[in-house]
Amino acid sequence: MLANISKPLIMGILNITPDSFSDGGQYSDVQRAVQHAQRMLAEGADIIDIGGESTRPGSEAVNAEQQLERVLPVIIAIRQQVSRDVLISIDTTLSTVAQAALLAGANIINDVSGGQDDPLILSVAAQYNVPMILMHSQGKPKTMQDNPHYDDVVAEVYALLQQRINAALNVGIKADNIIIDPGIGFGKRKQDNLQLLAHLQTFVDSGYPVLLGTSRKRFMGSICQLSEPHELVTATAVTTALGVMAGIKLFRVHDVKENRQAVDVAWAIKQAIKQ
């Protein structure tokens, strides 16, 4: 499904949560969520990423039942009202949520814990033969920003992702169904995020498609002296363009139109370099 990605893909964020850091509570109503999905697709999204649990710093965990109450009606409605072909990813760390979402029409599992919170989620991905996004995070969302520390953030993040890749392969997930994500902002200081962004090539060189999720992240606000997430659209698009040049294949964003433009222009420049 996502094997052999050529031109990078845009994953539009659809948070069905009351407390996400940037858009919490905006799409709790099913029809508003569907309309937002339609808008993102019209603006150039290739995948809609649906989550029922905020993973912002300081957030509380949400149980499987509540996540399912939030996400299943939206997945079903998108399939019925929008398209049976649009790619939908389920943003969860729980195997029961992932399985139910796949049965309802999702195509991809996006796990910010990389299969560490609930190892059975890897078996679900293997059973249903779907792409699995393995993200790096240090600690749980509630406490991950309390005191993160690395001696060599690039090497340590890469090593942990390699462990998660091996775990995925060991339960039967096919290599061409594995996508990795360095987890910008998940248990990282500003300097850690900048180091990861400066060395994206390290992750690209793994041979697995890499997803980048910088959208509206706080560390960019500290650089730009801006405090509101929605003010960081341009900053996000800059990282998207840099990511394209480094070989990133997927970008998870709130602002699809602007990041689609960043991908398209950066991709055109990258193709010109090869000529």
Q: Can you give the length of the chain in residues?
A: 275
Q: Annotated catalytic, 190?
A: no
- Start-to-end C-alpha separation, the chain: 28
Q: Going by DSSP bridges, is the β-strand pair 211-212/250-253 parallel, antiparallel, or unpaired?
A: parallel
Closest of 132, 63, 74 to residue 105, by C-alpha = 74
Inter-residue contact 197 to 239 (CB < 8 Å): yes
Q: Going by DSSP bridges, is the β-strand pair 108-111/211-212 parallel, antiparallel, or unpaired?
A: unpaired
Q: Annotated catalytic, 217?
A: yes
- CA dist list (Å): 209 to 3, 104, 157, 183, 259: 8, 26, 16, 14, 18
Looking at 216, 217, 218, 249, which residue is catalytic?
A: 217
Structure tokens at 54: 């905020």
- Rounded to whole angstroms, how far apart are CA atoms 115 and 132? 9
SS3 content of the chain, % helix, strand, coil (to 5): 45, 15, 40
The catalytic site residues sit at 217, 252
